Structure 1
């Protein structure tokens, strides 16, 4: 009877997870989706606590308390600007849990002499992918947090070495299937997984870290699937499959938005010295500065304005000042919209969440495909901290590292005002042709302060 109740609870939880993913497809229902996912996880955990294999709850209680102490600050106090690295850090913990479960299950089955070929296949696959995700996620966290160098770190024959090492790990897994009680093969799989995770992320530049994090999320999901098969746990299989598939789809979407292939992301060392040389010889011309009062006058007497938010807005925490400026312009009858690039910020949806947090209506946030045709009829495009996603070189310069990347057609606007801290290149290291265009004016300074100045001047206009 208890087992039936557990399986029915798992079925209910799985249904809630699927509905949650569906709800997350639209901003209006995203909050409800998160609530459904949380309820589904609560049901799944509560049902698992009734499992007959659990003989004592003391250590589970300790783990719950420790997890809450770590998780609450991560959820409440980490700023939106640090969300990508927080997610990478969370992936590392999830993958570590899967890896430790695999190790523990192998030790338990080894002691009880219940190892079978199918069992060790699931356990070996789980530990290999889990260990890889642990160190890979920590490397991604380090690069995003700038603890580690954001540039690619390469050496001669790196790709061949990495693939050979991974092949050795697979060979150890095959040997373990043939000889389930060969402990050293299992240890080798774990160690190789940890090394591959480090070496896989080492040659990838900081600009590609969001794709890497998403791909590692997919690996963690596959590890969870293997855990489910090893433990005969249906909810782990379902949730792991959802996680693995959604992470893979997101990685494809992000690569497409940057006009990059998986092979190029994983093996291309984007942002290397060659890329830096291209950046130096990129855009030609001088940036034309503008004062806050002149920029405000141009905005105040416009008919249509499109604001393009980027990572600079997130770093400055200027979303509330952006909303205040929008309110002031709309009171003057100006039509204002936000143009959202798929990879604006450091992850898909980063700008949407940031602007929604400031109370900006969802209907003002327009995706790239829908907003691009509006730029030709736009009086002023206000670029706030965005760089690579508005660079015309992606369309015009075949020698540019970002050539072919889908961009926002800001250069089609009648005039452009760019809010930027300094004259540096974007995250990819590529100079921006838009910034030296005759129709572009640069308002240098912190984005929050610049938006506050614009708001104050619009009031006086």
Structure 2
């Protein structure tokens, strides 16, 4: 496109392009900053999209593009798919969609590196640092691609959410990783080696599968965050490959943000990243099915009318959502219940655990879709002191994140994990299909406390019944 510009403009075009790249980088940074709050997340996402749009447009001036037909076709097709997915994908499928985005991002970076390697024609013309970044971009991008689609399968359910392992798997994976890095060195030393190039590609794709398969389905919030970081690092490497400053910076920003979020997720579970990746811990959330809890223990069941009366006469009600709320698609009915309670003078708050759901921020996004006010959403650290002065806590589809075993039993798999201190409240009411344990596979003593009541059934049906009861009170 730059060939059609006057010579005087072409002379200063490189400087203009770098300035626009700097502008786009600033827009990216502002967008990421605004993603830190639910109240500004929407505009932050729009700013980040604007930065990407600026980057795409200016790159068309920065590269020697011969034909625009395929580029235009790609933009049209991709935009149509994106618009359709944004409108049609249900909130319960959002984690799977994010996993696919991560996979395509990593795959695209690997293809950029591959394309540049092929475009040069004579790889021996590439400098050593270029070959290193090509190798690393293919390595990280390919791992992200296959790993993300395994995560997608675990979330979707057609791949077992339980850890899939074999003896010596961690050692085998470590050897493959070291071997792939050696192959990157081989490619740098001998750029003409097609064998090294294709071995890097193949082993990296295999590593993505072998890395995610041993991870339990309920650890997917951490995995999705980590793979998001990988996709950013792969993009940054691809930026070095094609000498694009915007891609380098934006990829580094995504990579760093993903690593920070991954660390937050791990701290929220009181587990190291190594334990998540190599510990083969947990499986599917078995709140919908699975082994029943100890039937010798006594639980106190409740009804919609009883819950409605308790909530109406309460001064403060805190709602703790979990993945079961998303599965039941009950967020809108929940908002209706909260609205009716507020009209009767009840203070309503929502307590959000960092790893509730199947992706970082899943519950925040779910409740935002139902137009729950942002100022009613509280993080675990903010809401925990409030439970002692709370009359009723409605626990909807959450399990391990409210399990007091994490505070009382040192031998428990979840011991030390920060939890919502719901047991400090005067009354807790757990909405659940059965007494089945959560992904940690352990019973929850909260269910049997005298101050707790169980409301068995589908969360949406239960909340609709409460809505009807509130209308009649």
What is the TM-score of this pair, normalised by structure 1?
A: 0.96
- Alpha-carbon shift at residue 283 of structure 1 (Å): 9.7
Task: Kindly report which structure 2 residues correspond to 1:364-383, keeping only aligned pairs within 5 A, or say none.
Answer: 364-383=376-395
What is the CA–CA distance in structure 1 between the aligned matches of 2:251 and 2:182, rounded to whole Å? 25
Deviations 1:314-336 (A, max 9, x none): 11111111111111111221111
Q: Look up the match of 2:334.
A: 322
SS of the aligned residue for 2:320 comes to strand
Q: Is the 8 A contact 2:293 2:437 kept in 1?
A: no
- Alpha-carbon shift at residue 452 of structure 1 (Å): 1.4
Q: Is the 8 A contact 1:283 1:433 kept in 2?
A: no
Q: Look up the match of 2:184.
A: 173
Q: Look up the match of 1:150.
A: 161
Q: Look up the match of 1:247.
A: 258
Q: Is the 8 A contact 1:258 1:405 kept in 2?
A: yes
Q: Look up the match of 1:287.
A: 299
Q: Is the 8 A contact 1:375 1:409 kept in 2?
A: yes
Whether 1:358 aligns to 2:370 is yes
Q: Look up the match of 2:91.
A: 80
- Displaced runs of 4 or more, over 4 A: 279-284
Relative to structure 1, is the Cα distance of residues 302 and 142 closer, same or farther in structure 2, using a 3 angstrom cutoff?
same
What is the CA–CA distance in structure 1 between the aligned matches of 2:219 and 2:63, rounded to whole Å? 45
What is the CA–CA distance in structure 2 between the aligned matches of 1:215 and 1:64, rounded to whole Å? 28
Whether 1:335 aligns to 2:335 is no
Whether 1:33 aligns to 2:39 is no
Q: Look up the match of 1:349.
A: 361
Deviations 1:17-69 (A, max 9, x none): 00111111112222221221111111111101112421110111122222123
Query: Any gaps of 5 or more consecutive residues in structure 1?
Result: none
Q: Is the 8 A contact 1:283 1:432 kept in 2?
A: no
Task: Kindly report which structure 2 residues correspond to 1:205-354, keeping only aligned pairs within 5 A, or say none.
Answer: 205-271=216-282, 285-354=297-366
- Alpha-carbon shift at residue 242 of structure 1 (Å): 0.3
Deviations 1:391-416 (A, max 9, x none): 11111122221111110011111111
Q: Is the 8 A contact 2:106 2:142 kept in 1?
A: yes
Task: Kindly report which structure 2 residues correspond to 1:436-451, keeping only aligned pairs within 5 A, or say none.
Answer: 436-451=448-463
Relative to structure 1, is the Cα distance of residues 284 and 433 closer, same or farther in structure 2, using a 3 angstrom cutoff?
farther
Task: Kindly report which structure 2 residues correspond to 1:27-176, keeping only aligned pairs within 5 A, or say none.
Answer: 27-111=38-122, 113-176=124-187
Equivalent of residue 190 in structure 1, options 201, 204, 218: 201
Deviations 1:75-97 (A, max 9, x none): 22111111111111111111111
Q: Is the 8 A contact 2:328 2:459 kept in 1?
A: yes
- CA RMSD, Structure 1 to Structure 2 (Å): 1.8
Equivalent of residue 415 in structure 1, options 427, 441, 445: 427
What is the CA–CA distance in structure 1 between the aligned matches of 2:283 and 2:408, rounded to whole Å? 22
Q: Is the 8 A contact 1:283 1:431 kept in 2?
A: no
Relative to structure 1, is the Cα distance of residues 408 and 132 closer, same or farther in structure 2, using a 3 angstrom cutoff?
same
Q: Is the 8 A contact 1:306 1:337 kept in 2?
A: yes
What is the CA–CA distance in structure 2 between the aligned matches of 1:370 and 1:181, rounded to whole Å? 58
